Amino acid sequence: MATTGIPTKQQDQHFQISPDYVRISVAAAIELGLAPGRINGCSCNCINLLQNYPQGCAANCSYCGLARERPGLAEENSFIRVDWPLYETDLVAEKIAEKEAVATVGRVCIAQVQDHRATRDLIDMAARVHQAAPEVPISALVTATLLDESNLYDIKAAGVDIIGVGLDAVSEDVFLRTRGKLAKGPHRWDQHWEIVRAARQIYGPMKVNCHLIVGLGETDREMFDMIFQLKSEQIAGYLFSFNPEPGTAMQDVPRAPLERWRRIQYIKYLIENFDLSPDALEYSDSGELLKLTPPADAARLAFESGHAFMTNGCPDREGVMACNRPYGSYRPGEEFRDYPFVPDADERKTIAKQAKFGDVWDGAENVI
């Protein structure tokens, strides 16, 4: 008799699809008691969920572990370099409710993939979680390509209070090369912005966020121009550090140097929290940051808070960042890219050395 050559467990997962089943990050599975283990140095305060379909994701983003053309079975693929075990959605909702009963759950985030069923199923899954744990805030990390304005209203009615959009690329050119037709993907820059701005109108200021990845081929000018634009439209920007995944089209592309990443984190915080002026940044003809001239008092306060170097993510119901994504941008044993906790004074000294601020900022040593 012929066999498929696919392990029985993976064959089963072809039938264990959303909305009745959901993938959950390992950290969240540990936090809910669904998997053994512990997380060193912090807790997972945001329960990250990911839709599951046998074909995986129909998009083909050149850096993503879920990309359509990545070799292997969809069930074997990782997402942001970590595994996502599969559970029944109702069981996960029940565990969220149990945890909420004894210790507040910061937030739940449900991520869409590119599939024709994904919007209908997102609404269903959000409603299940909201019914089981009505006090827990819910974010939806949506696939803009699948949505129209009416979908945004339906998602909100299901209990979602924050919309995230994986813009990822900060310029149309980079988007085209990494996510759009040049990557053999379905995504369009203009359509993403239509959804971002429609969501901003429906959900309100700072209730919509765009994910921005540092290291996809953008210039410093393009990155900071995007951060200034999002601030002007009262849309949150969440930074991620590109981390190449094996088997993807960008598997051999190096990460952004740590000094560049640190500077972008810091300047973004100054823009968002201290109204840093575009005039404080000078660039080369190629768009590389040449000079930073921040007000000394703001610069000192921003650095000493440590918050600039933490993970960006959605807030909990008290307004405190809930989504700390342990090991989302680096592996255990590597230097922190973004801290899942507030870095202390010694850690800030390390950060200052990593950033090499003196190369672009005259007098940095007198402030940092």
Domains of the chain, start order? 13-366 (3.20.20.70)
Burial class of residue 77 in the structure, from the number of CB atoms within 10 Å of its CB (0-12 exposed, 13-18 middle, 19+ buried)? buried
Which among 149, 66, 74, 76 is positioned nearest to 111, based on CA atoms?
Answer: 66
Residue 74 has pLDDT above 50, yes or no: no
The three-point CA angle 146-64-316 to 5° equals: 70
Pull the structure tokens for residue 325.
Answer: 């994504």
**303-345: pLDDT as tens digits:** 999 999 999 999 999 999 998 775 667 777 788 899 989 999 9
The DSSP output letter for 112 is -
pLDDT at site 80: 45
Q: Determine if the pTM surpasses 0.85.
A: yes
> Region 24-52: what's the mean pLDDT?
86
**184-215: pLDDT as tens digits:** 999 999 999 999 999 999 999 999 999 999 99
- Residues 140, 128: Cα–Cα separation, whole Å: 14
**88-109: pLDDT as tens digits:** 999 999 999 999 999 999 999 9
pLDDT at site 326: 58
**136-157: pLDDT as tens digits:** 999 999 999 999 999 999 999 9
Range 208-226 burial, b when 16+ CB lie within 10 A, else e: bbbbbbbbbbbbbbbbbbb
